[in-house]
Amino acid sequence: MTVEYQPYPEQTLFPNGGWDVHHHIFEPAKFAYAPDRHLTPPPATVQQFLAFRKKIGITNSVLTHGLSYGPDCTSLKSFVQELGESETRGIGVIDPDTTTPDELQEMHKQGIRGIRVNLYKYEAMHDVERQKQVLRDHIRAIKPHCPGWSIAFTHVHPEYWGELKPIIEQEVMTSSLHLVTDHFGLLKAASMLPAEFEGDITQQPGYTEIMDLVRSGLLYVKLSAPYRISHEAPRYADVKPLVRAFVDANPRQILWGSDWPHTPHMKVRTREDALRETPYLVIDDAEWLNSLRSWVTAEEWQAMMVSNPTRLFDW
């Protein structure tokens, strides 16, 4: 049977509430950035995000620790409290060699439910062997102490998933942890695909491995920041085949995040560029959300926006 997908007016997007599982807060006047940061963002405050959350209509959010703050989660814990502990969870950054079990337990008590891996710190963004080691190190640092936590692992080389897949199957399958990748795993929609793929998204490196991991329940994917994978703003029509592929592979593994305040594309910057303030992208979030809603059923939307994040982040 063919399922019809119809556009929905903005006011009915979240009749049962909704989760934004990927956003940031940056307040450098209150909490200084790390000196070895890879990016210097302008302020994006708690109050600005609360206004955004109200405008869009979401009810819960997962604050993802900005890598510009390094592994010091002092700011994260403060921001979670300000955002409202009853509506917010946090994703932190740790140093797997120095973070103690007591520190992890304290993070859990303060609403943190996972970590993200800072590949910039380990000069691993373009090195798959380093990525394997860094992923193992982070899993082993939290595995005995934080059952149920998630690990966000995102890089700019989808072709690496073929080599990473056995590590994920070995490490994640035998733990109570959950692996998450941001921004569609940075698979490309047709408008950003290299010409040799002739618009066929299924032929790009990493596609098969990511879909296999999603299908098996070993990988959650955030349908976030479509501007990182498509040139077709504001509705990103060419992203629909990727959305449908992920949802069809396993609707229980799909999440949505705004990526507010919309930091620029991931890349390794020179030291000079990293220390220079870089403006945010201007994104029409409402247009993107309405587009996304039109591509899924009510049941799939409820899973993506409510059931899956509630289950994953231990609400």
pLDDT per position as a tens digit, 82-102: 999 899 999 999 999 999 999
- The answer to whether position 14 is within a domain reads no
- The answer to whether position 13 is within a domain reads no
- The answer to whether position 233 is within a domain reads yes
Give the pLDDT confidence score for residue 267 in this predicted structure.
79
- The answer to whether position 151 is within a domain reads yes
Q: What backbone phi and psi angles, to 5 degrees, belong to 308?
A: -65, -50
pTM: 0.94
Which structure tokens are listed for 214?
Answer: 């999603």
Q: Which domain holds residue 302?
A: 19-313
pLDDT per position as a tens digit, 38-52: 999 999 999 999 999
- The answer to whether position 204 is within a domain reads yes
Q: Position of tokens 């989660």?
A: 73
- The answer to whether position 4 is within a domain reads no
Query: Which CATH number is 141's domain given?
Result: 3.20.20.140
Give the pLDDT confidence score for residue 185 in this predicted structure.
97
- The answer to whether position 257 is within a domain reads yes
- The answer to whether position 10 is within a domain reads no
Ranges of the chain with pLDDT below 70: 1-11, 315
Helix pair 207-215, 161-171: axis angle to 10 deg: 20
Structural domain total, the chain: 1
